[in-house]
Amino acid sequence: MSYVPLSGLSLRDIEYVVAVDDLRNFSRAAERCGVSQAGLSEQVRKLEQLLNVTLFERSRRHVAPTPEGERLIALGRDVLASARNLLEVARAHTGPLDGLLHIGVIPTLGPYYIPALLPRLRQKYPQLGLRLSENTTPNLVQLLRQGSLDVAFMAPTTATESLEHAPLFQEPFLAVFPKDHDLAHKKNLSINDLARPDLLLLEDGHCLRDQALSLCPSNFRAQDQRLATSLEMLWHMIGAGEGFSLIPRLALNNRHEFEGLVTIRELNEAEARRTISLVWRPSDPRATSFRELANFLRVATPEGCLPLPKTKIPTT
């Protein structure tokens, strides 16, 4: 293959194209990239000229990649991931965890775990900058694989099998019922009692939904399932008497506004819990530092959660 100069091709332009593909909107892509819409549009147009390919089909209300654009954008994502890996390799020699760390967290954990975690991280790693983002498990996995995230806090699923993860603690599930629900005061309540049509669920994509269904399988039809957009909305639906649900332990803190509206019941079965882990790409050169971070986090188990065995995670 003959030599092809790369002077006209920039990583920034590829980032612009990927942002447009992610958001399917030039204005929001420009906002994410910190440039004007006109500037971003011009750079995308120049890149199309350089490649001699139309990357996007554009209209007033519609932006979508062309078939050829879709293939090239996928290659562009690989280029950006390799470039980030190049920076990570270089940064790995500056300190254990220095610079900027992109952290993802699932929505059913982030608001209840991260606030108490931040002061400890600041004290332990004063040179570490943090950029937090909240997303569902499938999206976090994708962002980790493409290099947009460095680590994530989540409950591992089959989707995370190709990633490396270090367990931190176990978080129990509790059953939360409307005050007058017939199960609210049932003796010897068990998981088997919860497989009912009035079990409230989160929307698709939330691992808590899958965990609830795996613990409480039911034969009611998918179109009849009650869906909440967030864990906070789930609380309000329970308080309004629409049904009951399984709530992770950390999300029970500071719920004084629901006193008199709900009844909280513990579940004694060992399977009524989830393991929270720190997850990252196996290829990340900072893997040793991430394992050390996980060992640091395991020392302090959040209140109401269950510690894991004291054995340290091997750092090599």
What's the pLDDT tens digit per position in 220-239? 545 556 688 888 999 999 99
The whole-angstrom distance between residue 81's C-alpha and the CA centroid of its chain comes to: 18
Q: Is the pLDDT of residue 217 over 50?
A: yes
Using the structure block, give the residue that is written with the tokens 């609830």: 212
Q: How confident is the model at residue 2 (pLDDT cuts 50, 70, 90)?
A: low
- Domain borders along the chain are 11-90, 97-169+276-307, 171-266
Residue predicted with more confidence, 1 or 304: 304
Q: Is the pLDDT of residue 3 over 70?
A: no
pLDDT at 85: 82
Residue predicted with more confidence, 300 or 221: 300
**CA distances for 279 relative to 18, 46, 91, angstroms:** 24, 38, 19
Question: Per-residue pLDDT averaged across 271-280, rounded?
Answer: 94
What does residue 159 show for φ and ψ, rounded to 5 degrees?
Answer: -70, -20
The two domains 11-90 and 97-169+276-307 share their CATH topology (first three levels equal) = no
pLDDT at 211: 79
Q: Does domain 171-266 have CATH number 3.40.30.10?
A: no
β-strands 151-154, 99-105: how paired?
parallel
**CA distances for 203 relative to 95, 113, 253, 276, 306, angstroms:** 41, 21, 23, 20, 27
CA distance 269 to 272: 6
β-strands 128-134, 262-266: how paired?
unpaired
pLDDT at 32: 92
Instruction: Please give the DSSP secondary-structure letter assigned to residue 59.
Output: -
Strand partners, 304: none
Q: Does domain 97-169+276-307 have CATH number 3.40.190.10?
A: yes
Phi-psi domain of 34 (left: phi exceeds 0; alpha: psi -120 through 50; beta: other): left
pLDDT at 221: 46
Query: 23-27, 81-85, 110-114 — which is least confidently predicted?
Result: 81-85
Q: Is the pLDDT of residue 4 over 60?
A: no
pLDDT at 218: 64
Residues in the chain: 316
Q: What is the pLDDT of residues 18-53, one digit of tens each?
A: 999 999 999 999 999 999 999 999 999 999 999 999
The CATH architecture to which 11-90 belongs is Orthogonal Bundle (1.10)
β-strands 226-228, 200-202: how paired?
parallel
CA distance 309 to 199: 33
What tokens were used for 31? 């906002």
Q: What is the three-class DSSP state of 293?
A: helix
Q: Is the pLDDT of residue 93 over 60?
A: no
Q: What is the pLDDT of residues 116-129, one digit of tens each?
A: 999 999 999 888 88
What tokens were used for 107? 């929505």
Q: Is the pLDDT of residue 109 over 90?
A: yes
β-strands 63-65, 56-58: how paired?
antiparallel
Query: 57-71, 154-168, 210-224 — which is least confidently predicted?
Result: 210-224
Q: What angle is formed at CA 205 by the lines to CA 75 and CA 150, rounded to 5 degrees?
A: 50
pLDDT at 222: 53
Dihedral of CA atoms 277, 217, 138, 301 in degrees, nearest 10, equals: -20
Query: Do residues 290 and 128 make contact, with C-beta atoms less than 8 angstroms apart?
Result: no
